[in-house]
Every structure is written in structure tokens, then in C-alpha cells.
Amino acid sequence: MATIDDFLNLDIRVGKILEVEDFPEARKPAYKLTIDFGPEVGIKKSSAQIVKHYKKEDLIGRLVMGVTNFPPRQIGPFISETLTLGVPDADHEVVLIKPDMDVPLGGKLF
């Protein structure tokens, strides 16, 4: 069972998507995201399997939540530096999690 200390060790923050690129080398359809997590964390890259529900142009400027303190992960030729968070829809496709109001970039989930 997870403890509150386990949760507190995660650094989950709000970021804004700056860039979206196709990721044709991924095994499952995905985008390469560039996300600004504010001045404390900075800009990080992420691979996200979100092509089912999101067009590239609709993602620019969108707020998302991401785990910013996982080690980088090699995904094909790409290094993913953050885990962009989502939940599955009825078909198990990713739906992104985002704040329901505008909030400062880098705000930490608590």
C-alpha cells in the first residue's frame, strides 16, 4: 500500500505544451511534446500516446499535468523527460488531465 510519503516524493506539476511533433518511430501512435513547467523545473520533453483524441494544433498552449522527477526514459530514438498524465476513456485511449482553471506554470499537485 502506498503511503503519503510515497505521494510526496512525486513531483507532479502543471505545464503548458509549447510544441507538438509527430513520433513515427513509436510502436504505438504518439506525439513528442515540449512542455514548459515554469521557472523552477523548466522545459521538458515527453512522449504521449494521445493521437486518438488530440490534433497537434489543438495541443499548443494547453495546460497538462506531468510527473517531473522521474528519470529520463528512452523511447525509441527519443528521450522522454516527464510523464504526461492522463486517464483512459471507455476504449482505453488516453484523455489528458488538466487544471479546470488557469493556474501558474509549475504549480505542484498537493
Q: What pLDDT, in 10s, does the model give residues 8-51?
A: 999 999 999 999 999 999 999 999 999 999 999 999 999 999 99
Closest by Cα among 75, 67, 65 to 96: 65
Whether 80 maps to a domain, the answer reads yes
* Overall pTM > 0.75: yes
Q: How many domains does the chain have?
A: 1
CB atoms within 10 A of CB 62: 15
Grid cell in block for residue 18: 509549447
CATH number, position 90: 2.40.50.140
Closest by Cα among 32, 35, 30, 22 to 79: 32
Whether 72 maps to a domain, the answer reads yes
Whether 110 maps to a domain, the answer reads no
Whether 105 maps to a domain, the answer reads no
Structural domain boundaries enclosing 8: 4-96
Residue 10 confidence (pLDDT): 97
